[in-house]
C-alpha cells in the first residue's frame, strides 16, 4: 500500500544536498547548496548553525534542534522554496515549481496506485474530467484517498480461525485454565 504523499519521509542525504550541496563526480565540481546561496544573497553568516535552525524552524513553523528533524516532504519543499526565493528572487520558474510540488506528488501517487483506466473512470464520474492537471488540490486528495481506501478493501482477508467449518462450543473452565 502506498503512503500518503504528505507523509513521505525525506532522507538525511536529501536534506544535506539541499542545504549544503554535493560533489558532482561526473563533472568534477562542487554543486553548492541553497543555504550558502541564500546567506550570501541575504547577507547572513552561513556558518551560524543556531541562526540556520531558527530560520528553518520559522519556515516549517516549529522549533528544531537539527536539520535531521525535517522529516516530511511538505517541510522539505517549504524549506527549498523559501531558500530559492531568498537566493534567486528573480527565478520565478523555480519557485513556482516548488509551489506545484505537492500537486506533482499527488498526481504521481494517483497514477501509481491504480490502473489508468480505473482512476480515470473515477475522476470522470466524480469531477467530469480525467485530466489530473486541471483538478484542484482537494480533488486530487479526494481521488488519492478514494483509491487508497478501495485498494485496502481489495486485500484478501484471512479466515478468523483455522477451525473454519467446525462447530463452536463454550470452553470449559479446564480448557480456560480457571481453577474451581
DSSP 72-104: BHHHHHHHHHHHHHHH-TT-HHHHHHHHHHHHH
Whether 92 has a pLDDT exceeding 60, the answer reads yes
3-state secondary structure at position 24: strand
3-state secondary structure at position 162: coil
Model confidence band, residue 177 (pLDDT cutoffs 50, 70, 90): low
Q: What is the signed CA dihedral for 165, 166, 169, 175, rounded to 10 degrees?
A: -130
Model confidence band, residue 6 (pLDDT cutoffs 50, 70, 90): very low
What is the pTM assigned to this prediction? Answer: 0.55
**Rounded-to-integer distance, Cα 89 and Cα 72, Å:** 25
Lowest mean pLDDT among 3-17, 112-126, 144-158: 3-17
pLDDT at 65: 93
Model confidence band, residue 132 (pLDDT cutoffs 50, 70, 90): very high
Model confidence band, residue 176 (pLDDT cutoffs 50, 70, 90): low
Whether 53 has a pLDDT exceeding 90, the answer reads yes
Amino acid at each position: 500500500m502506498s503512503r500518503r504523499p504528505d507523509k513521505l519521509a525525506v532522507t538525511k542525504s536529501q536534506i544535506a544536498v539541499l542545504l549544503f550541496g554535493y560533489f558532482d563526480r561526473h563533472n568534477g565540481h562542487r554543486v553548492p547548496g541553497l543555504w550558502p546561496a541564500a546567506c550570501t544573497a541575504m547577507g547572513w553568516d552561513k556558518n551560524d548553525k543556531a541562526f540556520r535552525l531558527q530560520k528553518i524552524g520559522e519556515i516549517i513553523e516549529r522549533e528544531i534542534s537539527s536539520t535531521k528533524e525535517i522529516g516530511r516532504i511538505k517541510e522539505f519543499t517549504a524549506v527549498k522554496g523559501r531558500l530559492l526565493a531568498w537566493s534567486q528572487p528573480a527565478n520565478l520558474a523555480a519557485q513556482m515549481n516548488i509551489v506545484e510540488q505537492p500537486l506533482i506528488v499527488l498526481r504521481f501517487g494517483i497514477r501509481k496506485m491504480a490502473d489508468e483506466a480505473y482512476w480515470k473512470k473515477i475522476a470522470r464520474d466524480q469531477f467530469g474530467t480525467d485530466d489530473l492537471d486541471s483538478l484542484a488540490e482537494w480533488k486530487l486528495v479526494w481521488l488519492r484517498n478514494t483509491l487508497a481506501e478501495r485498494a485496502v478493501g481489495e486485500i484478501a482477508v484471512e479466515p478468523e480461525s483455522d477451525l473454519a467449518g467446525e462447530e463452536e462450543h463454550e470452553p470449559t473452565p479446564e480448557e480456560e485454565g480457571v481453577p474451581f
